[in-house]
Amino acid sequence: MGLGNEILRKIMERMFERLPDGIYGIISVVAGGIGMVLAYIFFPGYNFVERMISDLGAGPGGLFFNIGLIMSGLLGIPFAISLNSSIKSAPIDKRLKKSAFIIAILSCISLSLIGVFPAIEGNTLSLAFHGLFASISWICGFLYCTLYSVVILKNSDYSKFYAYLGFIVAGVFLLTLITWIPVIEWFMLAIFNVWVLTISIRKVYHSRKVQTTIEQ
């Protein structure tokens, strides 16, 4: 276990040396977005009001969607690591922060697995796993957005804007889980991506500001 953690730590260190850690959240959103746009282009008659997002993964351009989803989930892991390391928590919040981090990683892994098991009609096994991992990813998304928002709210380094936006995202996650209405699911995806992007852009800006101060 110790060796595995050490290897993972070194891999993450090299990744963050090559690119500012905030970049991974941006690339994660872009990768997923490109996959969805291409899948939509190759899916004539796709209706945002009537069809769930997962339907794109079983359409003519499903390969683009699923690859984008897998990449988005994997790139979400360094984003979660970056977010977690940037938040200073008081002793009372350490358990919340640790729980949020574990749940975030589980959400990212489940998101990638959604792409591995597309919602193909007639394939019972793939449909079952797809539903399972989608549920896990959305539930974990609701939980970690809520927990991180609570911790961020008490963190002076972060504007309360990120916490309030996180609570809104968590609320839409919950609404999606309750209703499973396509339009709400699309809105959930959009507002979650906005949350990831705003935090990632903040991280990139902060990294450049620190680097400029060091050089001066």
pLDDT of residue 69: 97
Dump pLDDT digits (tens) for 88-120.
766 657 888 999 999 999 999 999 999 999 999
* Whole-model pTM over 0.85: yes
Most confident of 59-73, 79-93, 201-215: 59-73
Q: Which residue in this structure is represented by tokens 């989803």?
A: 69
Dump pLDDT digits (tens) for 7-56.
556 666 666 666 777 899 999 999 999 999 999 999 999 999 999 999 99
pLDDT of residue 155: 85
Contacts for 82 with CB less than 8 Å, ≥ 6 apart: 16, 21, 22, 24, 25, 203
pLDDT reading at 146 higher than 50: yes
Alpha-carbon torsion (171, 72, 50, 120), positive or negative: negative
Percent with pLDDT over 90 in the chain: 71
Long-range contacts of 137-141 (CB under 8 A, 24+ apart): 137/73, 137/107, 137/110, 137/111, 138/173, 138/176, 138/177, 138/188, 139/177, 140/103, 140/104, 140/106, 140/107, 140/110, 141/107, 141/169, 141/170, 141/173, 141/192
pLDDT reading at 199 higher than 50: yes
Mapping DSSP to helix (H, G, I), strand (E, B) and coil, where does residue 20 land? coil
63 C-beta neighbours (distance < 10 Å), count: 16
| Contact (CB, 8 A) for 173 and 184 | no
CA of residue 195 relative to chain centroid, distance: 9
Percent with pLDDT over 70 in the chain: 85
Instruction: Give the Cα-Cα-Cα angle 195, 199, 187 (nearest 5 degrees).
Output: 10
Confidence band, pLDDT 50/70/90 cuts, at residue 86? confident
